[in-house]
Amino acid sequence: MKPIKVGLLGIGTVGAGTFNVLQRNQEDIRRRAGRGIEITMVAARNLERAARIVGAGAGACQVVDDPFLVVDSPDVDIVVELIGGYDLPRELVLKAIANGKHVVTANKALLALHGNEIFAAAQEKGVMVAFEAAVAGGVPIIKALREGLTANRIESVAGIINGTTNFILSEMRDKGLDFAEVLKKAQELGYAEADPTFDIEGVDAAHKLMIMSSIAFGIPVQFDKAHVEGISTLQADDIRYAEQLGYRIKLLGITRRASVDGVEGIELRVHPTLIPATRLIANVEGAMNAVLVEADAVGSTLYYGKGAGSEPTASAVIADLVDVTRLATVDPYCRVPHLAFQPNQMTDVAILPMSEITTSYYLRVYVNDQIGVMADLTRILADAGISIDAVLQKGTHGDARTDIIMITHQTREKNVNAAIERIEALGSVVGKVIRIRLETLS
């Protein structure tokens, strides 16, 4: 059988890894796929660099600077999109689909914003769009959610899905350093981009979470409804206090089924989160990723590994290439649906507003150390229907002020918002209340 021909859009870190791994392991990949897989065209801005990567061992691989030459080539069967971003990749992917080509992409931002349009176009044209590499790099979480757990009703997905922020939080905890200092180190080591905004503000994690939520619950992608907070304002004091209370702080993406006043909905949120230090996911350190899935039949499953990097992500890209190669001749209606559920079986269950989610909270209040402060705080919380699970008081500022840290029992976010507003209005309170959500997980 003739080899399947692949056109590669972009040959940066992941593109180079994909090319190299495919070359190195081509015999094993051919045996698994049932036929050879060859990259025959590469589109790149830097033709000289691309030619060096492709080298003499690539046979008849053509290097071009116009990506539309790849998606329009009659000799390309699968287009692999590794450019990143929104507008140009959307145009290229839709053009490839219109030309009857299958698509593999690692572009989580593209799918989180334009996935509905792309999947609909692919369904109409009878081609596949594969995207294992878009979430958690080499960790096969998409396949697990979409295929491995297909017998289950999935209840929740919670994950450390951004290695940059996990590295920063691990360093802040281990070395007691401030955020800005650790971010600079992360940039020097190559864990953080020169412009790290998408990572440190939670946007990258939210893109990935939206994809997982759609697969887990059979809902359309709707990124604009996600609640997104990052770690840029997180303080070393809070990481230290959390540790003293038996918790660690991680940037989590959380999506779960929930019921508010008898109405079913889906939570979709990214934010710093306290997790009990005894939990496995709390001990995921450095730039590693981990995703915890709760499902009715199988219970809790944890997926762990490298969430980024050249060859870990290339592993996922090539796994998609093998899947597409195996299934290219299968009737489109017999293939695994893009978002796990058949397109006519997607649900319109609502994404819950953040004000309606229920969880526990870490609250840190910086106060003048005077009689009656604690009574004021507990009264305000009680008025809002919030009970306290633990209290820690720390006079660490060398003046007549102190930090009061409280862990609450579960309550709705809107109750905490109302209480915080009243607390900040107290004359004894200095500055803003620090609020970090808490999840026990499994």
| Catalytically active residues, by annotation | 208
Interior angle at CA 275, CA 253 and CA 354, nearest 5: 45
End-to-end CA distance of the chain: 48
By the 8 A CB rule, do 69 and 92 touch?
Answer: no
Where do we find the tokens 């899905």? 161
> Between the CA of residue 130 and those of 11, 108, 152, 321, 436, what are the distances in Å?
18, 11, 22, 8, 36
Closest CA to 439 of 254, 264, 199, 265: 254
Interior angle at CA 58, CA 57 and CA 62, nearest 5: 140
Distance of CA 102 to the CA centre of its chain: 24
CA atoms within 13 A on the CB side of 247: 24
State the Cα–Cα distance between residues 420 and 425, nearest whole angstrom. Answer: 9
- What SS3 class is residue 164? helix
By the 8 A CB rule, do 133 and 17 touch?
Answer: no
